Amino acid sequence: GRRMQSSRLGPSPPRLLTEEEYQLQGKVETHRALEELRSFCQSPSFSAWNTVSRIQSPKRFAEFVGGASHVTPNEVSVHEREFGLESIFINEQLFEEDEEEEEEEEEMGNSDSF
């Protein structure tokens, strides 16, 4: 009876990734996709002139196709400030303050009704 029951429920949900697995998968997949893009841009079927005429920084694009990083050191710094550990710490503090204020407001509202 249990086999019939489990088959009716459908497949079990996929295992969720840990934070480390998620970060690693993001790095691996980003690297793979950038290499695939770089390879396509170097292929004979790629219209370099058409593309270069439409982008803001042709020199940077050419450097990327040649193997340079897709982000500048300044972009990395800005990203770290906005989304890195420092940002996470600041956001946690802000959210804790918001939660405390909401709890105080709820307590004040509840005491007024008695």
Contact 61, 55 (CB under 8 A): yes
The DSSP letter of residue 14 is P
Q: Taking the CA of residue 7 as centre, how many other CA atoms within 13 Å lie in the half-sphere pointing to its CB? A: 4
pTM beyond 0.75, yes or no: no
33-61 pLDDT per residue, tens: 999 999 999 999 999 889 989 999 999 99
Please give the share of the chain, as a percent, with pLDDT higher than 70. Answer: 68
List of residues 6+ apart from 34 with CB closer than 8 A = 70
Domain boundaries, the chain: 20-97
Cβ atoms 67, 91 nearer than 8 A: no
DSSP letter assigned to residue 40? H
Alpha-carbon gap, residue 89 to 84, rounded angstroms: 9
